[in-house]
Amino acid sequence: MRGLEGRVALVTGAGGGIGRAICSRFVEEGINVIAADIDEGSLRSFSQSMGSGRGAYPVRLDITDFTAVQKAVEDAVSRFGCVDILVNNAGWDTAKPFVETAPDFWDKVIAINLKGPLNLHHAVLPHMMRTGQGKIINIASDAGRVGSSGEAVYSACKGGLISFTKTIARECAARNIVVNAVCPGPTDTPLLLSVAGDGEYGKQIFDRLRKAIPLKRLGQPADLPGIVAFLASDDANFITGQTISVSGGLTMHG
């Protein structure tokens, strides 16, 4: 795709299924990728899967830590001179009815799924403004568009991220910074399995989702990198503030 060779991207949740697939595609496109994840084991596995001499640079990062995020971005800018592309992909949840949850659970879900992306935007945007260009792709969820049983707080966070995406797209358009959201539907990743858990409630949700998808299969991590790479490329320079579902037809919007 046009305009990706030599760019610098920061991808969060890089050790997971979707994040790893995005990083791999970015490297194939010639992008230098700062691959951030909080889990050191996932980062080691990521490094082994990428092999040596590739354009991916693993960084352990807790996206809920504002100071740590600021430092990670400054380090990236010191090393590469800029951050051209930001992909907010990290996320976490556990499926349970809202009335069975408690404030400490809400706080963790909000910190990872909403405040984390806010931290990254706040750290990266000044550098994009300085260079006069940038691409931000926020990995939201169809749960934020239509709701999802058992994921009330997660859905609220993803709905907030979609609205935040549109607002930052408006605020930064004059600076040549485009911001879009990609909403995966149910995707066969460790996160989905962890959300479903071992309980009957989570399994029921999992089975209902799979049966409801018109294409009759769960999404795979490999289904996401194409749209993300497109939105990061010069082919998408006139697309901003949009929300795009990759859900096998589970959600269809006019």
Whether residue 98 is predicted with pLDDT greater than 80 in this model: the reply is yes
% pLDDT > 70, the chain: 92
Residue 150 token pair: 């058992």
The DSSP annotation for 86-120 comes to EEE---------GGG--HHHHHHHHIIIIIHHHHH
Q: Which CATH architecture has domain 8-246?
A: 3-Layer(aba) Sandwich (3.40)
Binned at pLDDT 50, 70 and 90, residue 200 comes out as confident
* 21-30, 200-209, 239-248, range with the lowest pLDDT: 200-209
Summarised one tens digit per residue, pLDDT across range 163-192 is 999 999 999 999 999 999 999 988 777 666
Q: Which of 53, 58, 67 is nearest to 19 (CA)?
A: 58
Active site residue 154: yes
Rounded to two decimals, what is the model's pTM?
A: 0.92
Beta-bridged to residue 134, according to DSSP, are 177
Q: Which of 78, 72, 22, 81 is nearest to 46 (CA)?
A: 22
**Residue 59: is it exposed, middle or buried by C-beta count within 10 angstroms (0-12/13-18/19+)?**
middle
Q: How far is CA 245 from CA 109, 167, 174, in A?
A: 22, 19, 26
Annotated catalytic residue within 154, 158, 221, 248 = 154
Q: What is the mean pLDDT of residues 132-151?
A: 94
